[in-house]
Homo-oligomer: A and B are copies of this chain.
Amino acid sequence: MEKSQTTEKRQNMEKSLKDRVYEQIRLAKQAARSLALLSRPEKDRALHAVGERLLADEAAILTANGRDVARAEADGQPAAYLDRLRLTPERLRDLVEGLRQLVELNDPVGEVTARWTRPNGLVIEQVRVPLGVIGMVYEARPNVTVDAAAIALKTGNAIVLRGSRSARESNLALTHSIRAALADAGLPAEAVQYLPYAEHESVDLLCTANGLIDVVIPRGGASLISRVLRTSTVPVLETGVGNCHIYIDQSAEYAMAEAITLNAKTSRPAVCNAAETLLLHRGWPERHRRDLLARLLAAGIELRACEETRRLHPELADRLVPAAPEDWDAEYLGLILAVRTVDSLDDALDHIARHGTGHSEAIVTQDAARAERFLAAVDAAAVYHNASTRFTDGGEFGFGAEIGISTQKLHARGPMGLPALTSSKYVVRGTGQIR
């Protein structure tokens, strides 16, 4: 009897979580209808109002954030984690500056991307429209809350946010300010929803709200992304892992090869466009290969090398860790680099086809024909000739705003700018045509 009461109570609580989450999602969906019809000036005015309001609410936001940081500190989180969590007056001003840049960007909504007339006289237009309601599941950094809400607003979408528990108070304070600004600007505050629930079920509910949520975007570590992919019945925009390769071809220029490899590995090792594996063509002069290995070690990089690479440098062999099979698939996100000597361009292409994650892949070569073969044959979101993989980034591509870097092939691939948050519809004008 007691047990069944507990079960019933739990079911009621679950039902209640579902009800609460769905209520927020439905409010967002309702708001999306009017958001889709807003003009660019209306949306830009609202973005401006959001920026003003965030600055006005600075004290409340920083106080809420301080509580999050204190709790994370007490939980023994490492310094890097605390740093990502922390908001400062400067960071808040940067966020507001980001909003100002967003205002300057072209509004993709309403753009007629194609227009044609059929023999029967029907005039067909393909028009960009908002996606509708975006679900966003993310970790740690509270600035994502503002970025995501602002980009959604600029593209006429409503958004349901679900950040990590550790940033809960910061996120609630930020969304409170955003919603207040929307209401002041005469827009529906319901367009921005924050799910404050610690339960993982709130993520699952968001990811299975077909017909209400049009796309879920997970941003965070591999386990977050794989959980969303596994449970989601709503379409997912996957921003995935990057096991990126730098392939040094036989004719590569030494200085360029060194600069690109160092940049791709060390400029920011924790990001997805950093290189994880270096492939060295056997035909690249031995002294170059030896020099490059020595230079990488000198830069503090741990090298995990294949047997042939280790034999190349007997005097450094004890500093060249033997690579295990799993090294070819690892995304280290730190100062570790796998190194393999390959027999040929084809060998490099095979290695990348087998181990790459389709993110960013680069060839360094002076041979234009071989470069073109690499660019054509490698199946990745971005392929580079004589440039660092680190350029796979919305800002570096000139998009002005970035939602993430898609590693899937549907809808959007690579750095996603504003158009990635739009869909299209066919508008057909007739004079009574029937079929």
Interface set of A (CB-CB < 8 Å, partner B)? 33, 36-37, 116, 118, 122, 124, 129, 131-132, 210, 214-215, 229-230, 233, 235-237, 253, 255-256, 259-260, 262-264, 267, 353, 371, 375-377, 379-388, 390-392, 396-398, 408-411, 413-415, 423-435
Contacts and interface: CB of A to CB of B under 8 A. Distances in A.
A411 B409 CA distance: 9
B387 A432 contact: yes
Contacts of A430: 384-387
A426 B414 contact: yes
B384 A428 contact: yes
A381 B396 CA distance: 33
A383 B267 CA distance: 49
Closest 6 CB pairs of A and B: A387-B430, A263-B434, A409-B423, A411-B411, A256-B432, A410-B411
Given A33-B379, A410-B235, A427-B375, A434 B260 contact: yes
Contact of A376 (B37, B380, B387): B37
Contacts of A376: 37
A106 to B, nearest CB: 14
Nearest to A264: B434
A387 B433 contact: yes
B435 A425 contact: no
A235 B381 CA distance: 16
Given A131-B410, A376-B37, A435 B398 contact: no
Within the oligomer, what is the number of copies of this chain?
A: 2
Given A233-B230, A260-B434, A432-B259, A425 B411 contact: no
B384 A263 contact: no
B434 A267 contact: yes
SS of A interface (majority): mixed
A383 B434 contact: no
A45 to B, nearest CB: 20
Contact of A409 (B132, B236, B435): B132
A100 B375 CA distance: 32
A36 B379 contact: yes
Contacts of A255: 432
